[in-house]
Amino acid sequence: AQRVTQPEKLLSVFKGAPVELKCNYSYSGSPELFWYVQYSRQRLQLLLRHISRESIKGFTADLNKGETSFHLKKPFAQEEDSAMYYCAPRENGNKLVFGAGTILRVKS
Amino acid sequence: KAGVTQTPRYLIKTRGQQVTLSCSPISGHRSVSWYQQTPGQGLQFLFEYFSETQRNKGNFPGRFSGRQFSNSRSEMNVSTLELGDSALYLCASSLNTDTQYFGPGTRLTVL
């Protein structure tokens, strides 16, 4: 079965420290991959999609087809980065398959 | 541009009842997808409508249904409610198969 795994439920780092949120997927072919973020009391919003190769709010994510990973990285975490992060491959049509999510807590 | 809106925001029902949730997409968007979010199962895809046709369907029982109108607004219906249907129901709209924009959700509680 196709699936996506985010192994960490909670990641706690200090402000200014590097951050890496892990995402592994098991899919045939080359799915399109996304990272979504949900800040406290806000709606789910797109952070990154791999085909655009943009850097949003200092975050980047590289698709590693060999390791089937799409880890989210930021060199220096900020307190405002504290949120829930979801990795989501897109299957046929618009079906997003969300991982369980990782809570990022940035401590001052 | 106004974002995706969902009504009602909160709903309390009892077992056996049915419920209808509404989603208004961003103007010009023709695709509307629905997701269920629960603490145990996380975010799960229910179905997607595009130009009034169901284009994709998740693994939910037939009690969960939806439709889309000519103005792209969408409704989802859950019949014969069960306690396990308590969840946050999210809808998302997009132009076609591109970035999906999410609404704030409807919190359904089944007693």
B8-62 pLDDT, tens digit per residue, is 999 999 999 999 999 999 999 999 999 999 999 999 999 999 999 999 999 999 9
Enter the DSSP assignment of B95: S
Q: Do the Cβ atoms of A103 and A84 come closer than 8 Å?
A: yes
CA distance B22 to B7: 5
Q: Do the Cβ atoms of B62 and A108 come closer than 8 Å?
A: no
Q: Hey, is the C-beta of A56 within 8 angstroms of any chain B C-beta?
A: no
Q: What percentage of chain A reaches a pLDDT higher than 90?
A: 69
In chain A, residues with a C-beta closer than 8 Å to the C-beta of B103 are: 43
In chain B, residues with a C-beta closer than 8 Å to the C-beta of A93 are: 48, 50, 55-56, 97
Confidence (pLDDT) at A1: 60
Q: Flag if B33 and A45 touch (Cβ within 8 Å).
A: no
Confidence (pLDDT) at B98: 83
Q: Do the Cβ atoms of B85 and B73 come closer than 8 Å?
A: no
Closest Cα in chain B, distance from residue A96 (Å): 7
Q: Hey, is the C-beta of B30 within 8 angstroms of any chain A C-beta?
A: no
DSSP-assigned states of every residue in A44-88: -EEEEETTT---BTTBEE--BTTTTB--EEESS--GGG-EEEEEE
